[in-house]
Amino acid sequence: MNSNVRIGLCVLGFFMTSAFVNFSIESGLIGLEGVHIILIPGFIIATIIYVVTGDLVTKLLSPPSTIEKQIDSTAVILLYILSFFIPLAGFIVGAIYSSKEEEHYKHVGRNCLKVSTLNVVIGIITVASLFV
């Protein structure tokens, strides 16, 4: 896993846990007070996320394989989101990736084309329903 994604997940876990504990204290669900009570669960969750998403654990959990170079799953999801919100970019990315030789790239390219087409169809249906 990319180290920036790991750090982002840790920060997100820290702030979400701290916010939940702070909300619980302010609403009276937890009768404790103090900044350290708010921060300690956040640090624990951030540490757990950092350890679980580590390269050592990832290598231990994933079986050894000889897979050719593939696109990172985060990048694939971002490409699909880009294809939906900006169909022209989706058509361009889809055309580029569909023309590659590797099957993984072709699959991602075809899906980008499908998502872009879906957005165009939804847009046409929405505009048509406004005029009816």
pLDDT in tens, 23-62: 777 777 666 666 666 677 777 777 777 777 776 555 555 5
pLDDT digits (tens, 9 = 90+) for 59-110: 555 555 555 677 888 888 899 999 989 999 999 999 999 999 888 899 999 9
Say if residue 79 is in the same domain as residue 55.
no
- Backbone φ and ψ for 16, nearest 5 degrees, come out as -65, -45
Query: What was the pLDDT predicted at 65?
Result: 57
Query: What was the pLDDT predicted at 68?
Result: 61
Q: Taking the C-alpha atoms of 19, 74, 107 and 62 in order, what is their torsion angle to the nearest 10 degrees?
A: -100
Distance CA(66)–CA(43), nearest Å, equals 37
Domain encompassing residue 88: 73-131
Q: Is residue 7 part of a domain?
A: yes
Distance CA(106)–CA(126), nearest Å, equals 30
What is the count of structural domains for the chain?
2
The two tokens of residue 47 are 């540490």
DSSP result, 29-70: SS---SHHHHHHHHHHHHHHHHHHTSHHHHHHHSPP--PPP-
| pLDDT confidence tier of residue 126, bands split at 50, 70 and 90 | confident
**Is the pTM here over 0.85, yes or no?**
no
